[in-house]
């Protein structure tokens, strides 16, 4: 995917009806909370160091989901205001963040949120900023930051099996959902991340971009893996009968050929820039 295609893909995510975007993940909210991977501790430590965060920092988090990244920063002692438009994610985030009284969660979109100008030391978005129109997101994030405050984007790329396993599973996709028969190798994921970083620069709102990533391996049972797939947008778009047939086919192949579990790898990354 070249950078022009990436921009068009992101426009596709962010230009939809706001109410649709708010409720997009509701069918998969519980699964998202259980099986989406967290951000590696080494990555979080790098982000904290680069953005110079401390217990005194005030952080605005855009689209916290079920608090996938929130808690890692809450453990620093920072004060965090989280904006989460999805009502199911909002409820899960409230539950997950109960031990951290310094976290406030509002059930509202970033677009609808009343700007608190120059109040925050950092604005954080973890795998969520692509849902916000660029002409709204970047300027509003910059305005929320104090002078020299940091804009932090975190990304967990889609978990992938080995290419050999993908080739076997590809046969199932070709029967039930050929449009989803795609494989993101490390080079492709790095190219996508480079494009996302370029968009931060091109916004004209930020300077001194720093990037980094960490590769992680995890083993998922077949139940966990199928639940994980159900949380990705292309699978949420599938017609119910196609999705059912696809997941049943994948289950049979994973159980019969791979012992009922898969070793998966994924790339976690950050883009950190300062307010211009």
What CATH number does the domain containing 198 carry? 3.40.50.150
Task: Classify residue 18: in a domain, yes or no.
Answer: yes
pTM for this one?
0.95
Alpha-carbon 261 to chain mean position: 24
Nearest in space to 73 (alpha carbons), one of 15, 170, 154: 154
- For the chain, the first-to-last Cα distance in angstroms comes to 29
CA distance linking residue 198 with residue 178, whole number of Å: 31
Q: Which of 136, 145, 158 is nearest to 14 (CA)?
A: 136
H helix runs in 58-213, sequence order: 70-74, 87-96, 134-144, 163-176, 186-202
Cβ(104)–Cβ(81) under 8 Å? yes
Q: Note whether residue 169 is domain-resident.
A: no
Does residue 12 fall inside a structural domain?
yes
Domain hosting residue 19, numbered range: 3-159+184-216+267-275
How many domains are there within the chain? 1
Can you give the pLDDT of all 276 residues of the chain as single tens digits?
566 778 888 888 888 899 999 999 999 999 999 999 999 999 999 999 999 999 999 999 999 999 999 999 999 999 999 999 999 999 999 999 999 999 999 999 999 999 999 999 999 999 999 999 999 999 999 999 999 999 999 999 999 999 999 999 999 999 999 999 999 999 999 999 999 999 999 999 999 999 999 999 999 999 999 999 999 999 999 999 999 999 999 999 999 999 999 999 999 999 999 999
Backbone torsions φ then ψ of 38, nearest 5 degrees: -85, 175
Residue 167 lies in a domain: no
111 located within any domain: yes
- Rounded to whole angstroms, how far apart are CA atoms 7 and 3? 6
- Does residue 125 lie within any of the structural domains? yes
How many angstroms separate the CA atoms of 76 and 10, rounded? Answer: 32
79 lies in some domain: yes
Q: Give the Cα separation of 246 and 73 in Å (integer).
A: 37
CA pair distance 89, 73, nearest whole angstrom: 18
Q: Is 255 contained in some domain?
A: no
Distance CA 272, CA 148 (A): 12
């Amino acid at each position: 995917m070249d950078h022009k295609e990436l921009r068009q893909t992101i426009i596709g995510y962010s230009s939809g009806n706001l109410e649709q975007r708010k409720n997009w993940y509701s069918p998969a909210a519980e699964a998202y909370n259980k099986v989406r991977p967290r951000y590696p501790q080494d990555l979080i430590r790098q982000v904290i160091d680069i953005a110079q965060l401390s217990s005194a920092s005030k952080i605005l988090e855009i689209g916290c989901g079920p608090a996938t990244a929130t808690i890692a920063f809450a453990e620093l002692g920072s004060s965090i205001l989280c904006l989460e438009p999805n009502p199911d994610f909002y409820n899960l985030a409230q539950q997950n963040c109960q031990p951290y009284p310094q976290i406030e969660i509002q059930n509202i979109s970033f677009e609808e949120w009343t700007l608190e100008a120059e109040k925050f030391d950092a604005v954080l978005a973890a795998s969520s900023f692509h849902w916000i129109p660029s002409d709204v997101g970047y300027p509003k994030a910059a305005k929320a930051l104090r002078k020299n405050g940091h804009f932090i984007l975190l990304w967990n790329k889609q978990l992938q099996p080995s290419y050999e396993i993908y080739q076997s599973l590809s046969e199932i996709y070709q029967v039930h959902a050929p449009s989803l028969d795609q494989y993101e190798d490390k080079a492709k994921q790095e190219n996508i991340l480079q494009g996302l970083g370029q968009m931060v620069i091109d916004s004209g709102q930020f300077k001194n971009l720093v990037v980094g990533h960490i590769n992680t391996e995890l083993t998922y049972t077949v139940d966990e893996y199928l639940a994980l797939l159900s949380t990705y947008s292309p699978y949420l778009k599938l017609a119910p009968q196609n999705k059912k047939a696809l997941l049943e086919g994948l289950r049979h192949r994973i159980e019969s050929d791979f012992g009922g579990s898969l070793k998966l790898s994924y790339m976690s990354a950050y883009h950190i820039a300062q307010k211009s």
